[in-house]
Amino acid sequence: MRDCILHNPRCSKSREALKLLQDRGVDLPVIEYLQHPLKAAELRDICKLLGKKPLEIVRTKEALFSELGLSADNGYSDAQWIAVLAEHPKLLERPIVVRNGKAAVGRPPEAVLALL
């Protein structure tokens, strides 16, 4: 996965993380992942860089999660959660910053500063 910020401009945490990076002179490509959903392979790469299981980057409190009848303890495999994220990018935790072969979820936004 190339260096970038996976960004949702409607999300205050995502906007804050982007501003923190820009204020420090870090200019990363911005990918609005709702407009340009990630492929399964990219999601797997992000999980690997984060050191997290796919379920750990699913927004389980998002209304869509329950609307789809999903549950964190439904026994889905990592591949199944990746498929859910690929099909429903709104469920992806945000923002996620990838830089120099590492990644961080910007919750709180200051967490992305660990990549600098």
Please name each of the domains of the chain with its CATH number.
4-115 (3.40.30.10)
Span 63-92, pLDDT tens digits: 999 999 999 999 999 999 999 999 999 999
Task: Give the pLDDT confidence of 22-71 residue by residue, as tens digits.
Answer: 999 999 999 999 999 999 999 999 999 999 999 999 999 999 999 999 99
Q: In what order do the strands lie in the sheet with 30-32?
A: 30-32, 4-7, 96-99, 102-105
Which pLDDT does position 48 carry in this prediction? 98
Q: 3-state DSSP call for residue 109?
A: helix
Q: Kindly name the residue from 4, 11, 34, 111 that is annotated as catalytic.
A: 11
**49 vs 34: CA distance, rounded Å:** 21
Name the burial class of residue 85, with classes exposed (0-12), middle (13-18) and buried (19+) by CB atoms within 10 angstroms of its CB: buried
* 4 given a catalytic annotation: no
pLDDT at 69: 97
